[in-house]
Every structure is written in structure tokens, then in C-alpha cells.
Amino acid sequence: MKYLVFIIAALIVFRIIRVIIKRTLNNRQTDPNDTKLNLPPWALKLYTVWVFFVVNLKRVFRDRVALFFTFLFPLIFLFVFGSLSHSGHVSYRVALINESHTALANEYQNSLKNDKTFNISKSATTISEANQSMSRGEIDVIIELPPGFGKLNSNGIPSGDAVINYSQSNAQEAQALSSIMQSQFDSITNRFVKVEKPLKVVSKVTNKYSLTAFDYTFTGLLGFAVLGSGIFGPMNVFPELKKMGILRRLHTTPLRVWQFFLSNMIGQAITGLMSLAAMIAVAVGIYNLKVVGDYITLTAFLAIGIVLILGIGLALGGWAKNERQVAPLGNIIVFPMMFLTGVFFPRYLMPQWLQSVTNYMPLTPVIDGARMILTQGKSLLDLGPQLAVMGVWMVIIYAIAFRVFRWE
């Protein structure tokens, strides 16, 4: 219910923002040939960039498909992977057969019913019924409290052995449950007998911040959203504009490639940041994401990352004549970055040689830098290596994009 209320509220807010932006843009004067402007040549060139920025922004907010893939599609992935990351609690399906009914046995039975680790079957009440359920795969193990379990001896100390019945296919579950139950019994034993243990384990905090599974998942999904907003937009829109002859007509105007690119860069950066802001709001509101770093630093870094990845989309969309050309090449570039840069699973799970290679992929420093800001509170000055790699890639990618761009 909490998720549903949050989703409805997010959709309402998104709808309000969309209406406000559309009305604002519709009220703007966007004719670069307006003689009332009386701007110097350099200012007129920048005004042209502003005009096409407004046009691109209008196109995004009028296109329901673009809105879905820009805003809702990353949120769907966030809900799916966020739920998986927060379902780290392990639960075992067990049948509990209490044949003792002593005070301690009944107390232990009630404690297991309230323990989320043990999913107690209500249908199996005897050993034979429990064995049948286990043979059908309905339960993992059978916990048997035999007669006399928990009975007090002459010293007033309870004793007894709980029996775990399991099949060969559930040996791991049985071993894990044995360890959990032994820890529980040790705690109960300490209530009656104080035993000094000569060997102990002492825990010590080594650093202030630590990464959870959701931290890796969320920053990876931020990278996925950056990848989607930067590549898929131009990759799909540019070939369509060429097919409709719009870019060919624009080529006959004084519009320059750098003006066209700059307007797209500003537009994609703004819409991409809005999408990322929605994801962060959901992660904080629903999944209790702890943002250690500064939001301004995070915004600036993610804007640089969006502009970097956008260069790939501009190069692909600007080069391709139609969708058939751009789709295969786009997949060749997108899928390696999607699976080798930490989008869906941490890079530390990869072999060391593969980690060394993926350090220099364009999306890797974006994800790593965002993770360092979110979880460690790093500043832009601390992200020198990441920004250096991003800077080198930006020069290479945009040089290629300007080189291969075709108006038709």
C-alpha cells in the first residue's frame, strides 16, 4: 500500500510539472528571425541554440513514448531491483513437530512462530504428514522436539536434543538451520548456566561508511538511466528526422552542427537530471537510501556524465541514415557497457583482468563517481581519476560525432 500511494503521488507531481513546463514553453517566443530581438551576431547564435533547446524539450514532453522511457522505465527497473536488494532476509520453510510440550518446548515453539527466519507450515502436524510435505517439496526441513525435550534435571537445568530431519537435496538448508538453532540454544543455556568462553570474537568498526547491496544496485541503475537518456534518445530521433526530411531542411538554414548539438546537450541534460531526481526521490522515500554526499556535487557530476554518454548517441544518430543502420551498432556499444560497467551487478565480482579493462569504459567512471558521492561524500576534487577518464572520452566521442554527422 505504501508503494502504491507513493507511485500515485509521484505520477500526480510528474503530471503537474509536465503541464507547467508545457505552458511555460508555449508562452515563449522562439522565432530566431524575429526582427525585434536586435541581438549581436554572437548572441543570435546562442539564441538559436536556445530556440532548438526549447523545441527539443517540447518534443520530449509531447511524446508519451519518450516520457515513458525517460522517466517511468528507469523507475520500473528501480522498483524491481530495489525490491530484490531489500529481500535479503532468508526464510526457511519448516515443519515444527512438538512432541514434548514442556514449558521450554512450548516457549521455543512460540519463539519460532514469531521468527521471520522460520516459515512454519500449518498443515503438517505429525511426522508422517511432514515427511510427505517434504517429499513434495513443500517444506525444506522438519524440526522435531522429541518427548522429554526441555525437561528439567535434578539441578533444575533443562536438557534435550532437537532433531532436524532433511532430505539430501536440502543439506545446505539443514546445515544453516542447525547453526541458527544452536545459537538460539546457546542463548537459552546462558539463562541457566553461566559459561566463561576462553575464545571470543570481537567486532570493530574500521570506517564510517559502508556499501550495502542496494548502494551498488541503485548507483548501477543511475548509470542505466544515464545510458538510456544519453544514447537511446538521439539514436532513435535523428534517423526519424532524416527520414522525414527535417534535418535536410535545417541544413539549408544558417544553423550549424555545434548549435544543434549544444541544444540537444542542454535538453538531454535537463530531462536526464529530472529522471535521475525522480529515481533518487523514490530510493530515499521507499528504500531508505542514505545519501552521504552533497546533492549539488551529485547533480553537477551526473550532468557531466549525461553529456558524455550523449556524445555516443549523437554520433550514432548523426551517422545513421535510418533505424536499420543504427540499431545493430547501438546494441554493440550499449550492451557491453550495460553488463561490464556495474549497471546490474558489481564489478568486483568480475575477474581482476576484466575489472582492469572495464575501468576505462565511458560509463564506468560515471557509476563509480556517483557511488563515491552518494555513499562516501566525495567532492569533485576527489574524483580526479574519474573526471580525467570522462574528459578523455568526451574529447574522443565528440570529435567522432562532429566528424560523422550527416544532415540526410
pLDDT tens per residue, range 91-107: 778 888 888 888 888 88
Extract the C-alpha cell encoding 85: 536488494
pLDDT higher than 60, residue 148: yes
Counting the structural domains of the chain, the total is: 2
Last-in-domain residue among 156, 189, 222: 189
Element at 145 (helix H, strand E): strand 141-145
Give yes or no: residues 147 and 219 share one domain. no
Give yes or no: residues 305 and 390 share one domain. yes
**Banded model confidence at residue 392, pLDDT cuts 50, 70, 90:** very high
* Closest of 87, 27, 83 to residue 58, by C-alpha: 27
CA distances from 299 to 23, 45, 206, 366 (A): 26, 27, 30, 12
pLDDT higher than 80, residue 143: yes
Q: DSSP state, 365? A: H
Interior angle at CA 355, CA 301 and CA 379, nearest 5: 25
**DSSP-assigned beta bridge partners for residue 151:** 159
Give yes or no: residues 258 and 157 share one domain. no
- Compute the distance between CA of residue 220 and CA of residue 344 in angstroms, rounded to an integer: 6
Give yes or no: residues 237 and 321 share one domain. yes
Give yes or no: residues 274 and 225 share one domain. yes
Report the Cα 376 to chain-centroid distance in Å.
Answer: 17
Q: Are 193 and 153 in contact (CB under 8 A)?
A: no
Residue 278 lies in a domain: yes
Residue 196 lies in a domain: no
SS3 category, 97 = strand
Extract the C-alpha cell encoding 44: 543570435
Give yes or no: residues 134 and 245 share one domain. no
- Compute the distance between CA of residue 265 and CA of residue 16 in angstroms, rounded to an integer: 25
Give yes or no: residues 307 and 387 share one domain. yes
- Compute the distance between CA of residue 102 and CA of residue 148 in angstroms, rounded to an integer: 7
- In this prediction, what percent of the chain has a pLDDT beyond 70? 80
**Range with the lowest mean pLDDT among 68-72, 159-163, 305-309, 352-356?**
68-72
The predicted pLDDT at position 21 comes to 53
Residue 197 lies in a domain: no
Give yes or no: residues 389 and 318 share one domain. yes
In tens, the pLDDT along 32-85 reads 444 445 667 767 777 777 777 777 777 767 767 667 777 777 777 777 777 665
Kindly tell me the number of DSSP H helices and DSSP E strands found in the chain. Answer: 16, 6
Give yes or no: residues 105 and 177 share one domain. yes
* Closest of 133, 130, 131, 159 to residue 146, by C-alpha: 159
Backbone angles phi, psi at 244, to 5 degrees: -80, -10
pLDDT higher than 80, residue 354: yes
Last-in-domain residue among 189, 222, 254: 189
Give yes or no: residues 173 and 257 share one domain. no
Give yes or no: residues 241 and 354 share one domain. yes
Residue 199 lies in a domain: no
In tens, the pLDDT along 197-228 reads 665 565 554 545 555 667 677 888 888 888 87
CA distances from 339 to 3, 223, 228, 358 (A): 28, 11, 14, 10
- Compute the distance between CA of residue 238 and CA of residue 323 in angstroms, rounded to an integer: 9
Residue 69 lies in a domain: no
Last-in-domain residue among 155, 189, 223: 189
Residue 83 lies in a domain: no
Residue 84 lies in a domain: no
Residue 70 lies in a domain: no
Give the domain extent around 109: 92-189
The predicted pLDDT at position 190 comes to 76
CA distances from 324 to 213, 248, 320, 331 (A): 38, 19, 8, 12
CATH number for 155: 3.40.1710.10
Give yes or no: residues 174 and 281 share one domain. no
> What is the number of residues in the chain?
408
- Compute the distance between CA of residue 318 and CA of residue 310 in angstroms, rounded to an integer: 12
pLDDT higher than 90, residue 396: yes
